[in-house]
Amino acid sequence: MNPWPGGAEVALTLTFDDARPSQLEAALPILNRHGLRATFFVSFPTVEPRIEEWREAAGRGHEIGNHSWTHPCSGNFGFARGNPLEAYDLAQMADDIDRASARIAEMLGAPPRTFAYPCGQKYVGRGVEAASYVPLIAQRFAAGRGFRDESHNTPGWFDPARTMAYDADGADLPTLVALIDRARHEHGWIVLASHDVGDHPTQAMRPEVLDNLCAYAADPANRVWCATMAEAAERVASAGG
């Protein structure tokens, strides 16, 4: 099954988390110069001080996705101990997600169509009380993106509510192109997740890597269809995958 348009052999989605300033200052100019659109999973209140710039990005075709309201992760992470997933139940998680969707709809005039799991974690509670919140995402969004996964997404097999994504922070161009090429024989969908763009010590893609990756994806000879999360997920769904 090949759902991708225009003779493309593989699909690529570039995603960025947390509404970090470097995404506006470094990532968007590179993407726009190459004519490519990405998905930005925004966090609150980070997005608020530059809301007009995020509206402008959406107006240029970039997707603004839901990354929750309070970004809850496991308390195993020191930064999350004031808001740990282990302390949530499904109703609380649903409220958190819906609050973020409502604010994005207020910002942009339409609700978000995709979601990124904070820290890639998909459960609430602990022990016998633990529960997956994947069904909440499946009910609300065209796709839910994971993080630090180990595979591309194969049409006909993958679960859109658990769309796999590679961590692209710190990766070099040959590594990223190899991931794309690995998916070609299955007409797969590669999703890359990044945070900052620049010379940051952690969680960052170098600008030259993003620039060269965009040039590779935009070259028709490479047969890559670069699309937002929502576009790719809905393309697979419409093709029966």
Whether 240 has a pLDDT exceeding 80, the answer reads: no
In a domain, 112, yes or no: yes
Query: Is 158 contained in some domain?
Result: yes
Task: Give the three-class secondary structure for 216.
Answer: helix
4 in a domain, yes or no? no
At 241, the pLDDT band (50, 70, 90 cuts) reads: low
Number of separate domains in the chain: 1
CATH number at residue 44: 3.20.20.370
Predicted TM-score (pTM) of this structure: 0.97
The candidate with the shortest Cα–Cα distance to 160, out of 176, 177, 139, is 139
Residue 30 contacts residue 65 (beta carbons within 8 Å): no
Query: How large a percentage of the chain has pLDDT more than 70?
Result: 100
Q: Is residue 3 part of a domain?
A: no
Closest by Cα among 185, 179, 182, 156 to 166:
179
Helix (H, G, I), strand (E, B) or coil at 68: coil
Nearest-CA neighbor of 122 among 163, 158, 166? 163
Residue type, 53: E
**In angstroms, rounded to a whole number, what is the distance separating the alpha carbons of residues 15 and 63?**
9
Is there a domain that residue 2 lies in?
no
Q: Residues near 216 by Cβ (< 8 Å), separated by ≥ 6?
A: 173, 177, 180, 222, 224
- Give CA–CA dist 71/48, Å, rounded: 15
Q: 98-120, pLDDT tens digit by residue?
A: 999 999 999 999 999 999 999 99
Alpha helices in 21-64 (DSSP H): 21-22, 28-34, 51-59
- Distance, first Cα to last Cα, the chain: 8
Q: Is residue 152 in a domain? A: yes
Q: Which residues form the domain of 165?
A: 10-238
Per-residue pLDDT tens for 43-92?
999 999 999 999 999 999 999 999 999 999 999 999 999 999 999 999 99
- 134 sits in the region (left: phi over 0; alpha: psi -120 to 50; else beta) called alpha
